[in-house]
Amino acid sequence: MKNLRRDFLKLSVGICATAAAATIGLLKTGAAWAATWNKEGFESKAAADAQKSLGATTLIDSKDITITAPDIAENGAIVPVAVTSKIPNTQSISIIAEKNPFPLAASFDISAGGEAYISTRLKMGQTSNVRAIVKADGKFYTAIKEVKVTVGGCG
């Protein structure tokens, strides 16, 4: 009985990892996706890799990027995050939740007609930094904000 319970616990702990592996399998079979979807970035498990996949090798800290998110998010399944960039010629805004199983959450390409502002809601597994990466004139700017998560939104 005791052993069973152990195994079950192990299974639950390992679930994020195993499901992740299953996910990749699934993703590979569903081949016909939009060509622009950053497969490498969305499947990376480390924030640094996700950042690299965006082409952002060097990041410049910027005060012109505002991340609007709660200091404490009670429900990790719905964390409202808004990013505003005052940097001229902002081309894209990406959001990375650093400690999520897959940190890169979303990436927005902004054309001339759109303002450098986006607002959405994310799932966060645990307390972590939310990083915004803004691409403007070929350079990458960044800002971070810590969001404390009381109840994780992973599963």
Q: What is the sign, positive or negative, of the torsion defined by CA atoms of 65, 119, 89, 106?
A: positive
Q: What span, in angstroms and rounded, lies between the C-alpha atoms of 129 and 149? A: 11
Which range of residues in 2-10, 58-66, 105-113, 135-143 is near another protein by CB under 8 A? Answer: 105-113
By the rule CB under 8 A, 127 interacts with another protein: no
DSSP-derived 3-state class of residue 75: strand
Residue 117 CB, shortest distance to another protein, in Å, is 5
From 52, 123, 139, 145, residue interacting with another protein (rule: CB under 8 A): 123
Q: What span, in angstroms and rounded, lies between the C-alpha atoms of 62 and 139? A: 11
Q: What span, in angstroms and rounded, lies between the C-alpha atoms of 19 and 143? A: 30
Residue 97 CB, shortest distance to another protein, in Å, is 6
Residue 70 vs residues 8, 81, 121: alpha-carbon distances, Å: 34, 8, 11
From 8, 23, 40, 72, residue interacting with another protein (rule: CB under 8 A): 23
Using CB under 8 A, list all residues that contact another protein.
15-16, 19-20, 22-23, 26-27, 30, 32-34, 36-38, 42, 77-80, 82, 97, 100-102, 104-111, 113-115, 117-124, 153-155
